[in-house]
Structure 1
Amino acid sequence: MQRIALRTRLRPGAEATYDKEHATIPADLEAEMRAAGVRSWTIWRDGLDLFHYVEVEDYAALQDRLRGSAANQAWQLQMNRLLDGDFDASSTGLPRVWTMGPPAGGTEGEAA
């Protein structure tokens, strides 16, 4: 499983529209993303800055599959009008700088 972080930025004034339109995504797009190995995709917004966290089997394979997807092309067209620059589908994600793992002697989600 790959864990990918991405950053995008909204155009000023697009915050409410983005939040409203991104509250749900088209069912056909979600189905394609899940079939391509996406386990979860979360987006946080801080003002104009968007931070994406993706858990996916193979991010490069996901990008290849979605490039030819009519559902994804329509969605990107809809969303890119709100972004300060188009979403870079070729991005490999933000480089990881640091991670805090589970506590010594325990496992994640388990008391030591």
Structure 2
Amino acid sequence: MQRIALHARLKPGAEDAYGQAHQSVPMELDAALRAAGVHSWRIWRDGLDLFHIVLVEDYQKMRHELHDHPANIPWAARMAELLESTDDYTGVDHGMPLVWELTCSGTGDGVQA
């Protein structure tokens, strides 16, 4: 299982549209994400900055599977209208690097990847 952190940036003025789009993610896209190994996907917004935490079996595999998936194509097109830049679902990225984590053991003794 992989936990991946991602960052994206909204185009100015796209905040409401982005929030509305995520009020009703298509069932077909939800099913495609789950079939591609996604266990959870959370998004936080701070102004125009978006921060994602994805819990997924294999991030690169998921990205490749979604690239041409019929449920993802219209969603990706809609997100392209709202985000400053989008990737091409190549799966070559690895998300943001983890710098530090306070673990359940409470040691806080370094990076846990």
TM-score with structure 1 setting the length? 0.87
Structure 2 CA distance for partners of 1:104 and 1:18, relative to 1, 3 Å = closer
State, as a whole percentage, how many aligned pairs show the same letter. Answer: 49
What value does the CA root-mean-square deviation take over the aligned residues? 1.5
The match for 2:97 is 95
| Residue 4 (structure 1) aligned with residue 4 (structure 2) | yes
What is the deviation of 1:104? 4.7
Distance 2:23 2:87 in 1: 18
Distance 2:62 2:81 in 1: 22
SS at match of 1:19: helix
Distance 1:24 1:40 in 2: 16
Is the radius of gyration larger for structure 1 or structure 2? 1
Distance 2:81 2:54 in 1: 22
Is the Cα contact below 8 Å between 2:37 and 2:56 reproduced in 1? yes
Amino acid of the structure 1 residue aligned with 2:35: A
SS at match of 1:70: coil
Structure 2 CA distance for partners of 1:11 and 1:101, relative to 1, 3 Å = same
The match for 2:74 is 74
The match for 1:86 is 86
Runs of 4+ in 1 over 4 A off after TM superposition: none
1:28-78 deviation per Cα after TM superposition (whole angstroms, max 9, x unaligned): 011011011100000000000000000000001101100120111110001
TM-score with structure 2 setting the length? 0.87
- Give the aligned length: 105
What is the deviation of 1:103? 3.2
| Residue 40 (structure 1) aligned with residue 13 (structure 2) | no
Is the Cα contact below 8 Å between 1:80 and 1:87 reproduced in 2? no
Structure 2 CA distance for partners of 1:104 and 1:15, relative to 1, 3 Å = closer
Is the Cα contact below 8 Å between 2:67 and 2:88 reproduced in 1? no
Distance 1:84 1:68 in 2: 21
